[in-house]
Amino acid sequence: MEDATAKTFPLKALVIAPQPFFSPRGTPFSVYYRTLITAELGVQVDLLTYGQGQDVDIPGVRLIRIPGFKFLGPVKVGPSGLKLFLDVILVFWALGLLLRHRYDFVQVHEEAVFFSTYLKKIFGFKLVYDMHSSLPQQLTNFQFTNSRWLIGLFKKMEETSLKKAEAVITICPDLKDYVNRIISNPRKHFLIENSIFEEIRLGPDRSTAGDPGAGEELKPIPEGRAAVVYAGTLESYQGIDLLIEAFALVVREERRAYLVIVGGTAEQVARYRTLTGERGIENDSLFTGRVSQKMAKAYTGLAQVLVSPRNRGTNTPLKVYEHLQSGIPLVATEIYSHTQVLTPEVAFLAKPEPLPFAQAILAALRDDQPCREKTARARELYAAQYARPVYKDKIRQVLEYLRSCAA
């Protein structure tokens, strides 16, 4: 398949990412890998993003930032008034770039599609909507608003954007099905899972000494303990409460088990650490707080079992693909967010309840022949459907399609 991706595309693109880029979150990871592979395929990229975040070093990519406005505080996950303000600034920066440069296409992430749909009418560029989630659903999932009028407005704008875009990229089967119910031309729709995870190439460090990555040290796992590792954000939908409740049941039967939770803000860590104390497992658990990608990989490499306890949502977590490839047993909740990718043949799946999830962790800890067969099949699945050559070929197909479209 690599031979098929050898063809390059001497095109120029503007990528608009309304995110603190780079930061260790789902969408910035996706933006990074999309842009990395697009540039590898010969496209010259201008990447327009927020002022907050760490610089990255990708050959063929020029990183352009709006002002940071750091005095307004950090940009949190999900919709917010601060994001709305920054998006207004982003519009003016995009206008300036479009007036000065001729782009073969503009690739937009998340809510940037709304204003880009109108800019497309003025500048006539080809629009690629890289859709990570349904934006009307985000308004309710993150408890931003319950206004039917506002949610309905977002839904109408989203449907219009999907129809007007020359190409649409989605990240999971659920989102693919949603989009196919709206657009009339399925040929312009490409499913590209967030399935590669090589180390981020950071540029000159723009972080302060107190930020994740500065002076990090790997905290040791107590000798003789078997690490059960979660790595990711600690937002409520990630199911950390469920994980802690389940793990309290696990250690009653398997004293070797040791819970490691990688990620989270100081406030989130404090809340969940209190919960481990209430469940009597504070000496059987470790919280690292936010760490760099490199350090997160180091912790997952120490795992005897990896877990994804997400309790709601339909988008597949990025970490699932890395877990498939790892050769380490994976325990995940049996919700559509996971089951659109995972099956009992490749992972331990359990209802999102403490007892079934605990039983699944205990089964994975046995590391017996059935367990090893699961992990072997998981690696085979990853190589066949999600590995880098497959991912790169999917990006190539998008570029081929754009080149075939009339401007």
Classified as helix, coil or strand, 211 is coil
Residue 143: per-residue pLDDT: 59
How does pLDDT run across 344-362, given as a tens digit for each residue? 999 999 999 999 999 999 9
C-alpha distances in angstroms, 109 versus 167, 234, 257, 271, 342?
A: 12, 23, 40, 32, 26
The SS3 of residue 15 is strand
* Mean predicted confidence (pLDDT) in 152-177: 93
pLDDT at 184: 92
The answer, as to whether pTM is greater than 0.85, is yes
CATH number of 226-385: 3.40.50.2000
Question: Does residue 140 surpass a pLDDT of 90?
Answer: no
Angle between helices 240-253 and 266-278 (to 10 degrees): 40
**Crossing angle of helices 240-253/354-365, nearest 10°?**
60
| Single-letter amino acid, residue 294 | K
**pLDDT given at position 78:** 74
pLDDT value of position 6: 59
At 208 the pLDDT is: 36
Q: Is the dihedral of CA 99, 101, 107, 110 positive or negative?
A: negative
Mean pLDDT of 208-221: 64
As a whole number, mean pLDDT of residues 104-118 equals 95
Instruction: Return the amino acid letter for 216.
Output: E
What percent of the chain shows pLDDT beyond 90?
Answer: 78
Distance between CA atoms of 102 and 352, rounded to whole angstroms?
Answer: 50
- The yes-or-no verdict on residue 233 having pLDDT over 50 is yes
CATH superfamily, domain at 4-196+387-404: Glycogen Phosphorylase B; (3.40.50.2000)
Rounded to 5°, angle at Cα 33 from 32 and 36: 85
**Sign of the Cα pseudo-torsion (94, 95, 98, 101, in order):** negative
Domain ranges of the chain: 4-196+387-404, 226-385
Strand intervals (E) in 93-196 = 105-109, 126-131, 167-170, 189-191
pLDDT higher than 70, residue 214: no
Q: Are 287 and 231 in contact (CB under 8 A)?
A: no
Nearest to 289 by CA among 378, 206, 219: 219
pLDDT at 215: 61
DSSP state at residue 186: G
pLDDT at residue 136, rounded to an integer: 65
Which pLDDT tens digit goes with each residue over 262-280? 999 999 999 999 999 999 9
The predicted structure's pLDDT at residue 367: 86
Query: Which pLDDT does position 207 carry in this prediction?
Result: 45
DSSP letter at 56? Answer: B
Please report the pLDDT score of residue 97 as a whole number: 98
pLDDT score of 5: 44
The answer to whether residues 273 and 287 touch, using CB atoms and an 8 Å cutoff, is yes
Residue 201 has pLDDT above 90, yes or no: no
For the chain, the average pLDDT equals 91
Q: Where are the alpha helices (DSSP H) in 211-292?
A: 240-253, 266-278
Q: How many CA atoms lie within 13 A of 251 on its CB side?
A: 20
Looking at residues 383-397, what average pLDDT do you find? 97
Closest CA to 196 of 319, 300, 296, 109: 319
> Does the pLDDT of residue 138 top 80, yes or no?
no
4-196+387-404 and 226-385 in the same fold: yes
Q: How far apart are CA 20 and CA 390, in angstroms?
A: 28
**Predicted confidence (pLDDT) per residue in 278-336, tens digit:** 999 999 999 999 998 889 999 999 999 999 999 988 889 999 999 999 999 999 999 99
Q: Which residues contact 200 (CB under 8 A, 6 or more apart)?
A: 22, 29, 32, 56, 293
Per residue in 61-79, pLDDT tens? 999 999 999 899 888 877 7
pLDDT band (50, 70, 90) for residue 169: very high
CA distance 123 to 104: 11
